[in-house]
Structure 1
Amino acid sequence: MEKWASEELRQADLGDARRNKRLIRIVEDLAAQPSASIPQACGNVAATTAAYDFWNSPYFEADDIRNAHIKSTVSRIKEHETVLMIQDTTNIDLTKHPATRGIGYLDHRKSLGLKVHTAFAASTNGVPLGIINQQVWTRDIEDLGIAKKRRQRQIQEKESQRWLDGLERTQEFVPTETTVVTMGDSEADIFDLFRKQRPRNSHLLIRGTHNRKVNHTAKYLHQAIRATSVGGTLLVEVKRNPEAAARTAKLIIKYATFEVDVPRHHIARSQLKPVKLQVILAEEKNPPVGVSPISWLLLTTLEIKNFSAAIRCVKWYTYRWLIERYHYALKSGCQIEELQLETAKRINMALATYSIVAWRLLWLTYEARHNPDISCETVLEIFEWQSLCVHFTKNPIPPQKPPTLREAVRMIATLGGFLGRKSDGEPGVKTIWRGLRRLHDIAATWKLARLTH
């Protein structure tokens, strides 16, 4: 875990080689102990002071930090024919730190913090590749409660513009030989997003919510797609959550092509034309008692000629929740909301740094699932995997051959409280970040003991 940051941030350009090295050191320290406080992760007063000074530097911006990671993300994207670009918005809630200067209101006047919108790349089998864009802004408290109607505002004046900006940045970075599918939840059901010009390699896959007018005898989208004949069924695994156990759901799939009319309230309605979209409805008809049925209305610019193409889109959409796990890793794993920094700018600098750490945590979690048999040496230094094995085998002599990535990650997760029961499935982000902190201490002790003998 110590050396990956050097490779990930090799293209960092903060205007000075010393700053680039400092960024790498901070990311290494934070990744080794993602849930620790800054002083605990940095290890000593000098390193802690250097981290705080780094985030307060006037010589570079938070996006300069992100750009180093984005360049590495693009390199990973180039290895794939198709990538999923998942966009979503979250809050960095700093209500507990009202003295922080430059923050704004969130959901109401008494909640304070930053708004963050991320474009997050993943492979078509769900391995996180990194961020491509991250927009951070504050809402001015003076704008709260203004009577100006949202529907009467230009798209550029609305927060929904972030989806279009994220798409533009995606198209700017993703090479033309790679097909990119931008995904979003119902917040992204924006007519201006669908009508925006895109290059041939750029497509949309958005969860619909509005009952838009379409060219069908049923007149409106929700009724029109339900009037379409069934294309087939699909079994999907619904993951366990605090409210419900894991289960298998049988989805009935319908799909059709419609021309979606311009919304009647659109400020430029007379100048616009309908857009052609493929529509997929995935609905669960007989869920278990007391369970809300799955119902996904998906709008896409991808060509849907047959049932196989339709279920491919449904499967891809199941990976949308990866960005929620990413934001969860940022807030619960890296504890970004607990930072007591003086200004919104410094919070943003720290956020940019922790964004790299959160991606690495998520990547490690899913890489172990999709490539379980590769050597753990791809992510762990020799003294790290050796100390890990010694800790679990109670044998002071480590094995000659390193464990597989899956074996190592399960051991790390066990350090973090993972029980490994059949019903538990593979370890998640939470137990892995807890385990990494313990591994850091175990490995440091092991390394010191080896050096003194």
Structure 2
Amino acid sequence: MNNWVTEELKTADLGDKRLNKRLTFIVEGLASKPDKTVPQTFEEASQAQAVYEFWSNPHVKPSQIIAAHRDATLLRIKGHSIILVIQDTTDLEFASLATRRGLGEISKQGVEGIKVHNVLSVTTDGVPLGLIKQIAWVRKKTRKGKGYEERKRKIEEKESYRWLESFRETQELVPPEMEVVTVCDREGDIFELLASPRREGAHLLIRAAQNRNVKTSTEQGEIQKLFTLLKSQEVVGEIVLDLQKTPRRKARKATIQVKYATVTLQVPSNKPPLKHNEPVEVAAILAEEINPPPKEQKVSWLLLTTLPLNNVSDAFTYLKWYSLRWLIERYHYVLKSGCKIEELQLETGERLLRALACYSIVAWRLLWLTYTSRLDPHQPATVALEEEEWQSLYVKIHNKLELPREIPTIYQCVRWIARLGGFLARKGDGEPGVMTLWRGWQRLMDYVAMWKFMVAMVNELECDKDKDIEMKKENRNKICD
């Protein structure tokens, strides 16, 4: 455990070596017991107090904590020719406390909290590699009836600018030789984002929300509505997509019919005349599920992309990439339900933002462990587990002290951890989920602590035994002399 945290935070620069060391200590503790309270995780009162003081320190910037994780993420993406970067916003809701201050409005009316926009890098086969950026802010209270004035403001003055800012920084941070595809849900359907300058190899893949005015080259410049135009296209193929479980649906395989067309998005009439606010040519892909299960809402996606779309095979690839967008939802789920960040009793928004940065690293680690074990199962357990972790796990599962000659694979160990969390591994059970692994991890940490104690005791006994033998040798030599 300690090694991965140290490696993850090795570029941390909080302006003081003691603060850097304290950050590593905190993340190590949170990673071992992420769903526990601070006093439960750090049992010594002085340690718990040190955590609270760190989160209260105005000299510690949350962005500095995320920056260290970002540096490690950028190292992990090297070696990949294409990387997906998924953007999404979530709300953190906190209970009202008489002493709590520094929170703001969120989407849920009458509730205070923090808005968080995360930018998660993912491989094209679905392994989450870490955050590229995190923007967290406290929304100011707005007066009613200001909606129209809000829409007239420049994009740089709106909250939605976070999508453009994150896209720009992603292009700057990801090495230029790599192709990077920014994936967004309907909230990211912003004309200024689609019209943003892009470096070579940087692309957008966005689910459309606005029924925009478009033109096509085959319609003599006639203006049509986006959704109407795509509906009128011929079906070019079918694909079966694996839909993952969400709060709104069960996991299932969906048969998808695909249509596509190249369109030119017209500049919305309410946009100011900026130099890059010109019509934008994109590929549009309509994906509609056929014969969905009873009582299940059918899949219907209309995607806009700046990626080249030459044939139906390209469309299938982009649909698979978009289907990986749900990984960021799982990330937010782990952050809230696994780390229980919304249950923190910290009294100010500033302290919560520093705690969020620490927990964000822990949440990514578990998500990575879950999916790397599925997609690259033959790696040795040591890619993710320390020696005492896989050894204590093996002993517990097999109920014997004899260790194997070869190190188990990461896939084997992850399923053993899941068994500790209640996974039955029956035929048809599929792969264990993130929360099952989360529960198993908590139990494993208890076994690791016991394992370390036993190893220390054995080593001490061996040391005493060696000393005893040495003393006997010395006494025998004295007698002989």
Q: TM-score category by the smaller chain?
A: over 0.9
1:147 maps to 2:152: no
Q: Which of 236, 242, 247 is the matching residue for 2:241?
A: 236
Q: Tell me, yes or no, if the aligned pair for 2:87 and 2:182 is still in contact at 8 Å.
A: yes
Work out the CA distance in 1 between the residues paired with 2:119 and 2:252. Answer: 29
Deviation at 1:153, TM superposition (A): 2.1
- Structure 2 matches for 1:389-404, cutoff 5 A? 389-404=394-409
Task: Tell me the equivalent position of 2:46.
Answer: 46
- Structure 2 matches for 1:287-326, cutoff 5 A? 287-326=292-331
* 1:240-281 superposed Cα distances (whole Å, 9 cap, x missing partner): 446644322111111111011111222338984211011111
Work out the CA distance in 2 between the residues paired with 1:344 and 1:335. Answer: 16
Task: Tell me the equivalent position of 2:354.
Answer: 349
Distance 1:300 1:98, change over 3 A: farther
Task: Tell me the equivalent position of 2:467.
Answer: none
Deviation at 1:109, TM superposition (A): 4.8
* 1:424-449 superposed Cα distances (whole Å, 9 cap, x missing partner): 21111101111111111111011102
Q: Tell me, yes or no, if the aligned pair for 2:180 and 2:202 is still in contact at 8 Å.
A: yes
Q: Tell me, yes or no, if the aligned pair for 1:249 and 1:287 is still in contact at 8 Å.
A: yes
Deviation at 1:359, TM superposition (A): 0.6
Distance 1:303 1:270, change over 3 A: closer
Task: Tell me the equivalent position of 2:457.
Answer: 452
Q: SS at the partner of 2:310? A: coil
Q: SS at the partner of 2:428? A: helix
Task: Tell me the equivalent position of 2:469.
Answer: none
Q: SS at the partner of 1:253? A: strand
Distance 1:316 1:106, change over 3 A: same
Q: Which of 442, 446, 471 is the matching residue for 1:441?
A: 446
Q: SS at the partner of 1:398? A: coil
Work out the CA distance in 1 between the residues paired with 2:226 and 2:449. Answer: 60
Q: Which moved more, 1:373-382 or 1:124-133?
A: 373-382
Task: Tell me the equivalent position of 1:374.
Answer: 379
Deviation at 1:190, TM superposition (A): 0.5
Task: Tell me the equivalent position of 2:165.
Answer: 165
Q: Tell me, yes or no, if the aligned pair for 1:212 and 1:220 is still in contact at 8 Å.
A: yes
> Unmatched 5+ residue regions in structure 2?
459-481
Work out the CA distance in 2 between the residues paired with 1:32 and 1:108. Answer: 32
Task: Tell me the equivalent position of 2:198.
Answer: 198
Q: SS at the partner of 2:320? A: helix
Work out the CA distance in 1 between the residues paired with 2:179 and 2:428. Answer: 37
Q: SS at the partner of 1:100? A: coil
Q: SS at the partner of 1:24? A: helix
Q: Tell me, yes or no, if the aligned pair for 1:106 and 1:115 is still in contact at 8 Å.
A: yes
Q: Please say which structure displays the higher CA radius of gyration.
A: 2
Deviation at 1:402, TM superposition (A): 2.3
1:432 maps to 2:431: no
Task: Tell me the equivalent position of 1:75.
Answer: 75
Task: Tell me the equivalent position of 2:156.
Answer: 156
Work out the CA distance in 2 between the residues paired with 1:247 and 1:354. Answer: 31
Q: Tell me, yes or no, if the aligned pair for 1:98 and 1:112 is still in contact at 8 Å.
A: no
RMSD (CA atoms): 1.7
Task: Tell me the equivalent position of 1:116.
Answer: 116
Task: Tell me the equivalent position of 2:477.
Answer: none
Task: Tell me the equivalent position of 1:336.
Answer: 341
AA of the residue aligned to 1:227: S
Paired residues, number? 452
> Unmatched 5+ residue regions in structure 1?
none
Q: Which moved more, 1:291-300 or 1:41-50?
A: 41-50
Q: SS at the partner of 2:50? A: helix
AA of the residue aligned to 2:337: S
Work out the CA distance in 1 between the residues paired with 2:96 and 2:371. Answer: 33
Task: Tell me the equivalent position of 2:27.
Answer: 27
- Structure 2 matches for 1:400-415, cutoff 5 A? 400-415=405-420
Work out the CA distance in 2 between the residues paired with 1:269 and 1:2. Answer: 51
Identity value in percent: 46
Distance 1:271 1:60, change over 3 A: closer
Distance 1:137 1:243, change over 3 A: closer
Distance 1:168 1:111, change over 3 A: same
AA of the residue aligned to 2:107: D
